[in-house]
Amino acid sequence: MKYITKTVWVLSLVSLFTDTASEMLYPIMPIYLKSIGFSIVLIGILEGVAEATAGLSKGYFGKLSDSSGKRIPFVQIGYAFSAISKPMMAIFIYPLWIFFARTIDRFGKGIRTGARDAILSDEATQETKGKVFGFHRSMDTLGAVIGPSLALIYLYYFPEDYKTLFFIAFIPGLLAVLASFLLKSKKTPDIKPKVAVPFFSFLKYWKESPSEYKKLVVGLLAFTLFNSSDVFLLLKAKQSGLEDTMVVGIYIFYNLIYALFAFPIGILADKVGLKRVFIIGLLLFSVVYFGMSANINLYLFFGLFFLYGIYASATEGISKAWISNITAKNDTATAIGTFSGFQSICTMLASSLAGLIWFQFGAPMTFLITAIATLAIILYILTIPPPPSKPSTSN
């Protein structure tokens, strides 16, 4: 565990606290919004605006972090915004205020993502990227187990008291912000001059980025276009006759598997190769979606969500580790921020596309198309060379 430094521990705890706060609200967010008068259409617009905000800001703030040479302030401010947004959602229920509060939350994610992942990359060597990113994902996802579990317990004793949960969620959010102040800046020998960073300057990086980066990101984004929200998997479980508590239970089970396996799979990836593990993850994803296209019982649902947790463990952190290994160190935040930004937008499009297919042709066709498309994307990923033994030094 010597490769898990104090900085990696602190960032992982910060992510754990933040995810506990966010995931505490995830299962009840649509219910709460409907209870204060939001229609399904308005909820969709709200989430679309929020994700677009996060997507566009990730690239910009990643570039700004690289240009300024600073990391920690972006992490602290980003997590602070997300923490503050939780009680804001409950203070007033006016639609414009709710839009503002939800956007603040996603804006915070945009501010911190690139800088945080760049710090993780700096704390790892070429041979330990999978371990470090895997450990962070394990801790982060553990929050997705704790959060919904706490929400279920609270709502068991206080049914439909959704508003109070938003205030309770502020507590782990505040702990995340306080923990972020344990991070220490490393002294860098070359101080970068202050330069203006246009909002869409990260798009320029795409043109100048290494060809290996472009090839990989094209494949990742193609997959994202077919990888719709987990809500559709939960909706399939609900349609198959599972009770609401069981649906939430399966979601917690998936996150538990994800949290348990992300770190050991990261260790495996460092031994056998990031590319190999990533492809195995995509194969498991395809198996899960083929399975979801059929009528299945409760036990098979748990089996498929088990595989889905393994898939997430083998792809989420691994993809960022792979990106950080094929880009220059001083461009890490920009590279990951640019990818994460495009990814957020593609995720929004994927959910819209999945919803349209579901409405027109039914759930089985939605999952079947995704499974087949994933197999085609795997063939493309196979053509991409694995990460080199040394990272790129080009700007």
Residue 40 has pLDDT above 70, yes or no: no
By residue count, the chain amounts to 395
Residue 392 has pLDDT above 50, yes or no: no
pLDDT of residue 354: 83
Residue 149 has pLDDT above 50, yes or no: yes
Average pLDDT over residues 36-60: 76
pLDDT of residue 388: 62
pLDDT of residue 300: 86
pLDDT, one tens digit per residue, over 265-300 is 999 999 999 999 999 999 999 999 999 988 777 778
Q: Residue 390 — very low, low, confident or very high, per pLDDT cuts 50/70/90?
A: very low
pLDDT of residue 394: 42
pLDDT of residue 206: 83
Residue 187 has pLDDT above 60, yes or no: no
Domains annotated on the chain, with CATH = 6-183+201-382 (1.20.1250.20)
Residue 66 has pLDDT above 80, yes or no: yes
pLDDT of residue 195: 59
pLDDT, one tens digit per residue, over 188-231 is 545 455 556 666 666 778 888 888 999 999 999 999 999 887 87
To the question of pTM greater than 0.85 for the whole model, the response is no
Residue 393 has pLDDT above 50, yes or no: no
